[in-house]
Structure 1
């Protein structure tokens, strides 16, 4: 019956509407029409098109009373080849949402009262307009606060004691500290770029003279409308050589504001960012946020800790700051330590939570997001454990944090944002945004005191809109290469039958200090592969985060050693313990370090276990790691520079084993990937072609380390799935099912 439905577009559309209406019980007509117009295929089967056209929601931001929440939703249509973007209002009691702004140029909605919100609108010539609107009559009462002749982003606001509102944002600054606007800047006649020091390009761009900076001003309300006070935007970092947010991924998590001033994270200007990871916490005292000349940033001291600093957050009283800090200045994945600055008036005294005499710390997990409770007595912290990002509660005084924290119950999957539901409510209920392997956005209300969670709104009705469910998700644990266990996530097809056998799809994660998580991904989504007819196994071997620092740090100097042996053990475990998995038709895929491992596997016995391999932006030769931009990465992982420890690089070089390569392989690489330049994709393709091994190269000239553009992502999925389906036999099986459905359809039609 279902196979026949898939052949009839009319019934697909009808079923799509039914599924979408049931998934959004409080949705209005605009909700449903948007979803239907953008989901080009029905969710009877979770396909790449469904993945890429599914509405994407931002975290929900509650107002001060906790009755409403703002969020954005973006969609993409392969029919119109256009993106849409909306600002929406969520009613916390009913879970229903209403449309506030329907404008692709509108972004970053922020509460500026219980019934008013502020947002940005990008315009022509690189300008940005700041608008304020009311939730009661959206659109009809929106008014302009100011227009800034530059692109601004990452806005934060805070009410001050004098009744004004502090406004801070990020924007690019010229070398002399002025707002930078590339759209109106004079263009040079030559395209030459000249450098005399390290760090000439980063992620996907060649570096220029302009730098990120933080800008402040204040807003005051006159005659019912907010206006700018003082002298407009002031560069808080002017003349300091500091840059914040830290590129390429820094945002609002790199700074915070309070009535006492501004704290922010910035790289140490005295250390070359290509060689060192050190970022420090700085404080700029501000009383009115109208100061024309800001005080010089003051550094917060953390003796013995010299690595990345992240997530600074002021307490509600405005005198304390919680943040994280790493120890090593050349290890980007070192363990973050939860830190406290007890008094903003004394920047020389900071305290570490769970500190131990040996410096390792008693809590073996990695704190990320930090939120103060309403009474400032607790910190709510997110940290990864066993492939899930959990929520934890910690006393806000390090002296009281004697026991390691326990997990607070949240919705299935991984937490990616936490907010106080109502700032004035001492109960400290939280509005939590999370995702899972079957749901791309879930809003829930969490009560830490009762350790309960209530789902408020699920974007996909917990996977049902996509035809997915938690019953398809599982875990396995097996012995690794040493005296430790290795964990893997398992995703089965939605129509799984344990009496049948399904080819294995073996996914290898990047990082290498990373992990497959029970969380949504728009780039590497296991459900897309599972719905093709695979059992997907995603191991987290040596080097993976979330299983303690010993397992994570075990990859140092071991790139092709312990992780490879763990993957061999994983394959053997699947062969011996999962009878419904057909390992004779297995395929393996990996990106970044996972791509390195695909190339390493090609030259080793495990490579002969797979019918086909897929390498996305991988490493062909470890000797070429010095063509990357952040050199501290290979210096740490290969235990030295290439000139001091060449043998350490050569030991784990996939190019040393190309004589053993034999398995068909698809290679995907992008021109703007400056972390792993495109030659790392061209070289293995040339080897495969020269040896007569079936191979294909897919290149994206306008993508970086990730394929992000929807049209490109669709091609990526089509190429990857076609490749593995061909060699695993899934393509043949699919064709046979289609032919049988056509025969059945003809048989049932009257003569």
Structure 2
């Protein structure tokens, strides 16, 4: 909603310097980049068998060493004192919590055991090279894990053994690099082995000789595997395509491998999009997974599929629902599936009743069960009274909460960062509805400075989301942090433009093949509407964004007609032709843009191509570019910077040679923030 306009003559606000903030506002200090990285990063690791105790992890960044340290803690779900569970240097992650209270966890690539009731930790395995993505069988007698297997001699040291000091890559096909890594001929494979009394039997590669990945590259993990309830077979996710076919397809399938016979069965034959996250019901009678129906469309509607292995019956539980699923879990009584999904600028809890009429023509009932200005980012498990979930807000990093079925309220269990937030000046966040250029309602989040005064004038940052089909919700970022931006004296507006999930499938799909069309107009509509407010300094507005958001900034540079005084683009797409020729996941490029040699795609390479509008560039621009970004390769940032320099436009290139599409190093992140806010201080007055 809009803030009431002041009738007084506004005064411009002088912004604090980001690295020297001493001003106290309402008892707190404005958030700084250093403080942001000093916050603990909380991960929910698991529940005790009776659901009364939560095991969670906290990662703390150490500036001197430029690394994070993670330890595990235990806390009663219904409230009480948290106790540190592990303290060794390194990072621990929970595998499972046994009925007797023993916690199995990974530490430095090995399996360890420690009781919730106290006592010393015991190392159970000592495997050379360590274990990854571990899943222990239901009967506790076998183990499933992954490791990389050399299958192709792409690297010269593998192809020519007599030249061990060479460093050359040789390819005859595509998929030569992915995300931030060149393909060295090694493929992730799942392995099974007997596992008793801490002793591992001889591992069996269940994809032996197959040049395919499982877990999936680049971000797949243990969620790509599951054991069958009888421990006699495993299900794994793989895209069994190679080279050009691999680069242009999203057709992953679920494969069931029978341990005794060694036979493999494709459970999703004929389902040609992404099939992921295989999960059995608690009683083991039903198998469920996430599925997209279109090959090559990575942001397609994500549905929950249900299969009854005994009969072969299969049903799409969410086909009739106008939304897309992020993740899901089964209820303990096997009667419901709980899932999280974006909706109207947030991410909320939903439930599906699978106990009644699921195999009939009756559509299963889907109900939204949580509501509020927060995101539910994951479901940890179920208790007698509700669900244990992780949640964020734009002004609060992840903590673990207890969602109560009866009250429908969420109550914090962990409070890792409360003490720090009590010293940080809070920022107000409001929703705002605008009429888009085509007459439809356009929602935006607006974040105000801690000391916001409607009688004054403030510079504004228009945030352009990446994806392009990623949601702008109540998430909390440690780089694109709206609270941090607002704390430096800026009003931030983050529109839910075309192409974002949470507003129906049609709204989400509209951006494909229309990158420079309605979505760019949505950004202009949002900033024009906010600029009507008397507290907006219309002479000092900037547009900022990364990836598709960086593309949006490059596009806006040529079409904004004087709206913006400054621009910041991180790893943005500048020339669609050269980008198509160098990016790695071609299924994405083919679906959203199409090949440049196809005349049907001319609009994407002309009207919607930022480089074609360079004649109208006249606005100062800061360009960030990662050296190991293969999604939006280095040439994009260099081309844009060189063009701006040759045109005499105030411009700056910040090159991060060791970073990919993101910024993962703490020290590099601090440089990023200093350059980001330094540029705004230079260009916005």
TM superposition score normalised by structure 2: 0.89
1:235 partnered with 2:205:
yes
Give the Å deviation of 1:719.
0.1
Structure 2 residue aligned with 1:744: none
Deviations 1:574-620 (A, max 9, x none): 122x33222221111011111111111111134x2111100100111
The 8 Å contact of residues 132 and 143 in structure 1, kept in 2 or not, is answered as yes
Q: Which residue of 2 aligns with 1:278?
A: 251
- Structure with more helix by fraction: 1
1:134 CA drift (Å): 2.4
Query: Any conservation in 1 of the 2:29–2:425 contact (CA below 8 Å)?
Result: no
Q: Does 1:175 align with 2:175?
A: no
8 Å contact 1:623–1:642 — kept in the other structure?
A: no
Q: Which structure 2 residue ranges, 5 or more long, are not aligned?
A: 1-14, 153-157
Structure 2 partner of 1:263: 235
Q: 1:212 aligns with which of 172, 188, 208?
A: 188
Question: Does the 8 Å CA contact 1:378/1:396 hold for their aligned counterparts?
Answer: yes
Partner of 2:418: 461
SS of residue paired to 2:674: helix
1:267–1:273 Cα contact (<8 Å) kept = yes
Q: 2:105 corresponds to which residue? A: 119
Task: Work out whether 1:613 is the aligned partner of 2:567.
Answer: yes
Match of 1:300 in 2: 267
Residue 341 of structure 2 corresponds to 383
1:63 to 2:42 alignment: no
Matched-pair contact (CA < 8 Å) for 2:342–2:471 = no
CA contact (8 A) 2:45 2:94 kept: no
Report 1:320-399 matches (<5 A).
Answer: 320-343=286-309, 345=310, 349-354=313-318, 361-396=319-354, 398-399=358-359
Mapped partners of 2:522, 2:317: distance in 1: 33
Count matched residues: 654
Q: Secondary structure at the match of 2:422?
A: helix
Instruction: State the match for 1:85 in structure 2.
Output: 70
Whole-Å Cα distance in 2 between the matches of residues 186 and 414 of structure 1? Answer: 56
Could you list the per-position Cα deviations for residues 695-722 of structure 1 after superposition, in whole angstroms to 9, with x for gaps in the alignment?
A: 1000011000001110000000000001
Question: Following the alignment from structure 1 to structure 2, what is the Cα–Cα distance between the partners of residues 483 and 413?
Answer: 28
1:625 corresponds in structure 2 to: 579
Shift of 1:197: 0.9
What per-residue deviation string (whole Å, max 9, x for no partner) do you get for residues 484-517 of structure 1? 2211111111222222221111100111111211
Displacement after TM superposition at 1:375 (Å): 0.9
The alpha-carbon distance between structure 1 residues 151 and 725, as it changes in their structure 2 partners (threshold 3 A), is farther
Summarize the Cα distance change of 1:428–1:281 in structure 2 as closer, same or farther, 3 Å threshold.
farther
Match of 1:747 in 2: none
Deviations 1:322-368 (A, max 9, x none): 1111111011111112210112x45x5421124xxxxxx32111112
- What is aligned with 1:202? 178
* Equivalence for 1:38: none
Task: Say whether residues 1:440 and 2:397 are aligned partners.
Answer: yes
1:508, 1:134 → 2: CA distance? 47
2:7 alignment partner in structure 1: none
Report SS of the residue matched to 1:102.
coil
Q: In the alignment, which of 363, 369, 374 is matched to residue 402 of structure 1? A: 363
- Whole-angstrom CA distance in 2 between matches of 1:448 and 1:242: 43
Answer yes or no: is 1:52 the counterpart of 2:32: no
CA deviation after TM superposition for structure 1 residue 428, in Å:
6.5
TM-superposition CA deviations, 1:12-48 (whole Å, max 9, x none) = 9xx9xxx9xxxxxxxxxxxxxxxxxxxxxx9622111
The match for 1:313 is: 279
CA drift of 1:157 comes to 3.0
Structure 1 residues 339 and 463, CA, compared in 2 at 3 Å: closer, same or farther?
A: farther
Instruction: Name which of 569, 581, 595 aligns with 2:536.
Output: 581
SS at match of 2:396: coil
Q: In the alignment, is the contact (CA less than 8 A) between 2:459 and 2:540 conserved in 1?
A: yes
CA distance in 2, matches of 1:419, 1:676: 34
The change in CA–CA distance for 1:136 and 1:299 in structure 2 (over 3 A counts) is same
Shift of residue 249, structure 1, vs aligned partner? 0.8
> Could you tell me whether the CA contact under 8 Å between 1:663 and 1:693 is conserved in 2?
yes
Residues 48 and 602 of structure 1, relative CA distance in 2, 3 Å threshold: same
| Paired residues of 1:438 and 1:468 also in contact (CA < 8 A) | no
Task: Report Cα offsets for 1:199-231 as digits up to 9, x if no partner.
Answer: 1100001012211122233444xxxxx4236x2
1:73–1:691 Cα change, 3 Å: same
Is residue 499–residue 507 contact of structure 2 (8 Å, CA) maintained in 1? yes
Per the alignment, do residues 547 and 7 of structure 1 end up closer, same or farther by CA in structure 2, a change over 3 Å counting? Answer: closer
- TM-score computed with the length of structure 1 as normaliser: 0.82
Instruction: Tell me the equivalent position of 1:33.
Output: none
The answer as to whether partners of 1:330 and 1:632 remain within 8 angstroms in 2 is yes
RMSD across aligned positions (CA)? 2.9
Q: How far does residue 637 in structure 1 lie from its aligned partner after superposition?
A: 1.2
CA contact (8 A) 2:354 2:364 kept: no
Deviation at 1:528, TM superposition (A): 0.9
1:745 maps to none
Structure 1 CA distance for aligned equivalents of residues 165 and 573 of structure 2 = 37
Cα separation, 2, equivalents of 1:457 and 1:143: 27
Shifted more, 506-515 versus 71-80: the winner is: 71-80
CA distance in 2, matches of 1:567, 1:194: 44
Unaligned runs of 5+ in 1: 20-41, 123-127, 177-181, 221-225, 355-360, 730-751
Q: Secondary structure at the match of 1:273?
A: helix
What is the CA distance between 1:319 and its match in structure 2?
2.6
Distance 2:404 2:293 in 1: 33
Contact persistence 1:92–1:456 (CA under 8 A): yes
Partner of 2:6: none
